[in-house]
Structure 1
Amino acid sequence: MVDRSLLPPSFEEVSGICKEVLDDVIGQKPYQHAEVVKWNQTAVEKITEKLAGLGRPYKYCLCCVVMQTGLGAGLNVSSTCYWDKNTDHTFAYRWESRAVIAVCNVYAISMSGK
């Protein structure tokens, strides 16, 4: 039997945490340019805190892009890492309200030393 405390977080866990935090921090608020920096900083801090709270042997890096919807602007987010594909993982989660789109990229880097 595999010890789940040693496994990386699943996409369901990561997306659930991202959704919960973004619903709480931004929710259905209208886009407010003056507030976006605070929303984004609060969201990445809370998401990282909750991921670390899972107690898994992973370090987490998080990047979140927050933008206003309805402008007809396109958004393309791409990233890459040089790491161990067997132990390290990346997750992308898109969250959307009527006024705001957020894209979170979460990187889970194993501390197991395998």
Structure 2
Amino acid sequence: MAEISFVSEEVNGIVKDTLDTMLGQVTYQQSKMTQLTESVIDEVLKRLVALKKPYKYLVSCVLMQKMGAGLHSSAAEMWDTTTDGYAHVRWDNKTMFCFLTVFGVSI
């Protein structure tokens, strides 16, 4: 079986489209963020799985109210650089930021 490389640009497109659709008109409300974060992750995973590529996906999503605060985040990984990869999207609207990362690990 030929190896398939993780295509970050393709994943970025899926993530951006999902965020535009699901968050574009949303106003940040603390009480709704847990459910919204879970819904965003579920939709991204659903769309990635629909690609039918031989990957396990790990998705991390941070929703943060725009209040002028700083945020630092990092991740480390060790994998096969010829097949595995990640995509990271920073997205925002008038009231919130979203930082979504997808790791794709070949199976």
Q: Normalising by structure 2, report the TM-score.
A: 0.90
Q: Which whole-Å CA distance do the structure 2 matches of 1:41 and 1:48 have between them?
A: 11
Q: Report deviation, 1:14.
A: 1.0
Question: What's the RMSD between the two structures over aligned residues?
Answer: 1.5
1:39 paired residue number: 36
How do 1:46-85 and structure 2 match up within 5 A? 46-69=43-66, 71-85=67-81
**In the alignment, what sits opposite 1:24?**
21
Unaligned runs of 5+ in 2: none
Percentage identity across aligned positions?
33
TM-aligned CA distance change 1:45 to 1:39, over 3 Å: same
Counterparts of 2:6 and 2:92, CA distance in 1:
23
Counterpart of 1:31 in structure 2: which amino acid? Y
SS in 2 for 1:23: helix
**What is the count of residue pairs matched by the alignment?**
106
Higher RCO (CA 8 Å, separation ≥ 6 residues): 2
2:88 maps to what in 1? 92
Aligned equivalent of 1:105:
101
1:18 deviation in Å? 0.9
| Poorly superposed stretches of 4+, deviation over 3 Å | none
* 2:90–2:97 CA contact under 8 A, matched in 1: yes
Structure 1's unaligned 5+ residue stretches are none
Distance in 2 between residues matched to 1:8 and 1:75, nearest whole Å: 31
